[in-house]
Each structure stands twice: as structure tokens, then as C-alpha cells.
Amino acid sequence: MKDYQLMCTSCHSTYEPSRIYPRCCCNEPLEVKIDLVGKRIMEGGSVKQTSLERYFDFLPLKHLKREAMLNEGFTALVGSEQMAETLKVGRLLFKNETQNPTWSFKDRGTAVAIQHALSLGYGKIGTVSTGNMAASVAAYGNKAGLKTYIFVNEGIAEEKLAPVAIYGAHVIKVRGEYDKMYDESLRIGEAHHISFLNSDVPWRVEGSKTIAYEICEQLDFKVPDFVLVPTSSGGNVRGIIKGFEEFYQCGLIEAMPTIVCVQASGCSPIYNAYIKGAKTIERFDNPHTMAHAIGNPYPPSGNQVLRKLAEIKGMVTVVEEGAIIPAQKALASLGIFGQPASAVPLAAVRQLQQQGILTEKDTVVCLASGSGLKHTSVLSKHHLPVHTCNLEDLSAFIGGIK
């Protein structure tokens, strides 16, 4: 039997794991506290087991229901010596989360959260999202045969709706303030017995832990010096930090990496609070980042991210909107087509190197968080050239290309 509780990240009040509302009465996010004594990585490998099976011991789950699994995780850690040299860092690696079942890391959190919902007997799940989380929850809900409700804002681009609706979810465009939907969804969840697997719920954070576990294993338990994470709600970076901390507490690694949250200048509420030395975030006015996946103006885990980074000496940085498209192109030079949010850490590497924070001694891991195919409208900004040629002229044409 695994023993765990939910604990408030701020006031440390504890709750039963069956608590449905994912926040404390002080309104800060809850977190799973699991007893780490005797925990181990299961024998096997990526051919024979899934990431959830491998790290099952560390997860607050008693069983894994196969029908709800899509075998997320075990994504590649791809390096480039050439790019490391150009950017003057020791090693530069990308955790390629575009390889997940619905092409973003959100699948890791959905995978754990849906198992938890099933264990509590839920027949319905939902989420509030316009992007990757919506597709992820819809896919897992469909696989598990659960009724699935996705709340999106009214202004959502059509290109984003079909990739969610294809999974058979009830997609509901909601008129009104998008920010308020998070809280409202939790109330609706209680009233209608729908488990809302929102951005920073404790079980989603548990899923993100596996990113850190995998990085540790992929680097033979030598932790990288820096891990750069594009940050919006803060749920994912909380999970990554928790994963490294747990391996550290178990003696599997000997140090913690420096965690860097990266935001875009068009929406940087966590950075703004961090740079002022504030303990709480303020809503970011008029957000307008092209990195939609990191565009939450009032991140529900923002305060906890500030607390945690202060504790572990992490950092927050911001990149200019103008640096995102070039970084997306540079990422593509490694064969990784990430969406704008995925390119933000790479943009930050250049900046942090210039500031003397990253050096030629450092191993740097960037989270390539989700696929570029999810956000194709931004591609026109690249002015990508395509040639046209008659068949009979093709050979001469190819010969003429330098």
C-alpha cells in the first residue's frame, strides 16, 4: 500500500487523497506527499513497459487501468554539439515532448489524472483549455470510454477545435471571461461529478514528474546543470522540480539542477513578480504572446512557483516575442518542429549565456514542450521558401541549387 496525502503548498494543511477540490481552503494549490522510503524504479525498459509502469512506485496510484493508457512518455533527449558550440554552452539537450500521443507533455499529466479519476469511480472528465490540454484530455477520455467535457473560450481559432473534437469530446465554447472558467469548472465538477483535470491539479503535477525521472536516467543519473521550462500555469515546472527532488531524496541523484522558468514578454506574470521580489503574482494586463501555450495571465500555480524557486534557488527569465520565431527555426534545424512555446527555452539559452549565467561548463536541458503542427497559423511569419519547377527542367534546376 502506498501512503500519501494531499498537502497545501502554502499553509501545509493536509487533506485526504479523495478530496475532489484540488486547492486548499487558503486557495493555494495542493500537492501529493508520498512516502519515498524504499521506492525504486521498476525493472524493464521502454520496449517492455510504459513510463507509468516504470515509475509506478513513485506515483500516487494503486493500479493502472490499461484501457485508459496511451503509453505516453519515454521521449527522446536529443543533443546538438554544433548548437552547443555556437551558443557557447557545454552540452545542449532537448527533451522532445512532441513525441507524446497527442504531441505535448500534457499527456503525462492526463495519464496520471485519469487513472486517479477512474480510481474514485468517475465516469466523466473535463478540462478548461484551448490547446494541448484539451486534445490530451479528449484523447484519454475517449480511450477510456468516459464522457469528456472541454470548455474553450468563444474566440478560439477553428484550426484548434477539430483536433479536439475528433476524439469525440463535448467541446463547449463558453462566452465570458476565460480566467474565471478555471474556478467555475471546479464548481461544475463538484455539482455534476465531473473530474476536471486542469492545468495544475495535483495528479497532473505527478505526471510531469516523469519528465525529470527520464532526464535523470537518460543522463546516467548525472543531473544537468540547468533545466529550462516554458511556463504558464506552473503545473509542469512544479512536477519537474518535484521529480528531481524525489530522486534526490531517494539518493538516486547527487544534486539538483538549477531550474529556469521561461516566459514570453507578451505574457510574463511570474517573471514580473520574480523580478520585483514579490511573493505573489499579479494578473498580467493585455496578454498577447504568440506562444499561446504559455499565455496564462494569472497562473494558478504562480505563487507556488515563486515559493519553490526561492527555496531551490531557481530562476525566472523572459524572452522577447521577436526572439521566438528565430528560435523555432533553430529548433527545426535539429529536426524538432516545436510550437512557439517549445522554442522559448532555446531563445533563453542565448540570452542567459550572454548574461554569463550559462557557461561552457554547463549541461543545459531545454523542454521542447509540444508540436509545431498544433499551431500552424504562426508559420506564415517564417516566410518559408518553396520552389516550383517543370518536370523536364527539374534536373537542371536541382543542379543549380547552391
Ligand X SMILES: *Cc1c(COP(=O)(O)O)cnc(C)c1O
Contact mark string toward ligand X, 110..149, x via CB under 6 A = ---------------------xx-----------------
The CA-atom distances, in angstroms, between 308 and each of 86, 201, 231, 313 are 32, 16, 14, 8
- The contacts of residue 135 (CB under 8 Å, 6+ apart) are 102, 103, 104, 106, 163, 164, 167, 374
Please report, as ranges, the residues that interact with Zn ion according to CB under 5 A. 8, 10-11, 13, 24, 26, 28
| Short-list 298, 292, 289, CA closest to 323 | 289
26 contacts which partner out of Zn ion, ligand X, none, CB within 5 to 8 A by kind?
A: Zn ion
Least separation, in Å, of the C-beta of 36 and ligand X?
23
Closer Cβ to ligand X, 51 or 339, answer by number: 339
- Among 96, 198, 233, 363, the residue binding ligand X under the rule CB under 6 A is 233
Instruction: Report phi then psi at 148, rounded to 5.
Output: -130, 130
CA–CA distance, 296 with 392 (Å, rounded to integer)? 52
Cell representation of residue 227: 533545466
- Among 23, 39, 54, 106, the residue binding ligand X under the rule CB under 6 A is 106
Closer Cβ to ligand X, 39 or 264, answer by number: 264
Least separation, in Å, of the C-beta of 32 and Zn ion?
15
Closer Cβ to ligand X, 39 or 330, answer by number: 330
| Short-list 89, 96, 12, CA closest to 361 | 89
CA–CA distance, 308 with 282 (Å, rounded to integer)? 17
Closer Cβ to ligand X, 34 or 366, answer by number: 366
| Short-list 352, 348, 327, CA closest to 339 | 327
Closer Cβ to ligand X, 106 or 350, answer by number: 106
370 binds ligand X (CB under 6 A): yes
Considering Cα of 346, then 350, then 355, then 356, what sign does the dihedral take? positive
263 binds ligand X (CB under 6 A): no
Name the residue with cell 520585483. 276
Least separation, in Å, of the C-beta of 240 and ligand X?
9
Least separation, in Å, of the C-beta of 222 and ligand X?
26
369 contacts which partner out of ligand X, Zn ion, none, CB within 5 to 8 A by kind?
A: ligand X
Closer Cβ to Zn ion, 11 or 275, answer by number: 11
Contact mark string toward ligand X, 320..339, x via CB under 6 A = -------------------x
The β-bridge partners of 367 are: 95
Alpha helix segments (H runs only) across 50-201:
51-54, 81-87, 106-119, 132-144, 158-165, 181-192
Instruction: Report phi then psi at 37, rounded to 5.
Output: -60, 130
Closer Cβ to Zn ion, 28 or 72, answer by number: 28
232 binds ligand X (CB under 6 A): yes
DSSP labels, 192-227: HT-EE--TT-HHHHHHHHHHHHHHHHHTTT---SEE
96 binds ligand X (CB under 6 A): no
Closer Cβ to ligand X, 376 or 395, answer by number: 376
Least separation, in Å, of the C-beta of 123 and ligand X?
26
Instruction: Report phi then psi at 249, rounded to 5.
Output: -65, -30
342 contacts which partner out of Zn ion, ligand X, none, CB within 5 to 8 A by kind?
A: ligand X
341 binds ligand X (CB under 6 A): yes
Binding site for ligand X (CB under 6 A): 104, 106, 131-132, 199, 230-237, 293-294, 339, 341-342, 369-370
